[in-house]
């Protein structure tokens, strides 16, 4: 595939059918997610800027009605590891809290301020913090939800060496991966990685690509994967989800794949603010209604 074709395949806004230009898609997305986040900050209890590490961006917000005993849903935002923060990414909070859960929205450093490898380590640190918090607050279950780059990060956090010191993985765990990128081999050749701002090369691209990770060690745990991709994502994004779903199956894990009709790369998560949206219904079914 030529560099021009790769750029098109890895430009999610190009494939939306809702607007005339990709810029309109992005402007609409930023407006929706920021406004919904601000509404939720006013609507619900929120412990803000809880630190899971020493770096400035190693923080999380915890939204809740009932903190003790309620299931936890962790949300990891997208933005190609370069944009957005937790302060624009709490748009899934309302339907989850209204159905008895609590929601943790993570922050992390962005490229090119740090290398992509460092972001992965930050998210692994955050998830360890979450599981300790879950144990201390008697959470019924833990769900990890990630979109786009956030799906890549969510898929990267459960490596064998990383979970050995997590003591309470016996509780139900669900991982929801939405329109993610799991093989970064071709992505590094695109303008997303202009001037190698993700710091990817031949020595680390496989290490940073979940498709090359071994997940067999998770078979003995109570964990399920749910992969979603939008009908109006690019062919490459759809193929990435299909390939990763098959990779998880080959590791003997419980996994489901769903191509969500009509949606594109952006409204597939904008719709997480609606209680009747199919992904939210599944998260509630698996994570909240125990």
So which residues are the catalytic ones?
148, 233, 265
Residue 245 to residues 122, 177, 183: CA-CA distances in angstroms?
25, 10, 12
Q: What is the CA radius of gyration of the chain?
A: 18
Residue 280 — left, alpha, or beta (φ > 0 → left; ψ -120 to 50 → alpha)? Answer: alpha
Q: 85 and 129 in contact (C-beta within 8 Å)?
A: no
Lookup result for tokens 């748009």: 91
Residue 71 to residues 93, 134, 285: CA-CA distances in angstroms?
13, 8, 11
Q: 255 and 68 in contact (C-beta within 8 Å)?
A: no
């Amino acid at each position: 595939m030529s560099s021009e074709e790769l750029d098109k395949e890895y430009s999610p806004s190009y494939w939306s059918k809702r607007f005339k230009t990709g810029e309109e898609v992005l402007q609409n997305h930023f407006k929706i997610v920021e406004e919904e986040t601000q509404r939720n900050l006013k609507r619900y209890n929120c412990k803000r800027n809880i630190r899971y590490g020493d770096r400035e961006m190693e923080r999380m917000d915890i939204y809740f009605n009932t903190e003790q005993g309620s299931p936890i849903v962790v949300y990891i935002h997208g933005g190609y590891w370069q944009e957005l923060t937790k302060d624009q990414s709490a748009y899934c909070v309302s339907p989850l809290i209204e159905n008895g859960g609590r929601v943790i929205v993570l922050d992390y450093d962005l490229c090119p301020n740090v290398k992509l490898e460092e972001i992965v380590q930050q998210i692994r640190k955050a998830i360890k913090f979450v599981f300790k918090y879950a144990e201390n607050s008697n959470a019924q279950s833990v769900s990890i939800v990630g979109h786009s780059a956030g799906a890549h990060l969510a898929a990267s956090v459960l490596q064998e060496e990383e979970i050995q010191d997590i003591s309470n993985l016996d509780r139900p765990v669900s991982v929801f991966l939405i329109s993610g990128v799991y093989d970064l081999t071709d992505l590094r050749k695109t303008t997303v990685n202009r001037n190698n701002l993700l710091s990817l090369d031949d020595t680390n691209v496989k290490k940073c690509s979940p498709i090359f990770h071994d997940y067999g060690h998770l078979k003995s745990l109570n964990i399920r994967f749910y992969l979603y991709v939008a009908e109006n994502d690019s062919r490459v994004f759809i193929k990435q989800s299909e390939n990763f779903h098959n990779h998880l199956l080959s590791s003997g894990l419980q996994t489901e794949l769903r191509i969500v009709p009509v949606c594109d790369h952006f409204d597939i998560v904008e719709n997480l603010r609606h209680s009747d949206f199919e992904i939210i219904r599944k998260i509630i079914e698996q994570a909240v209604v125990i």
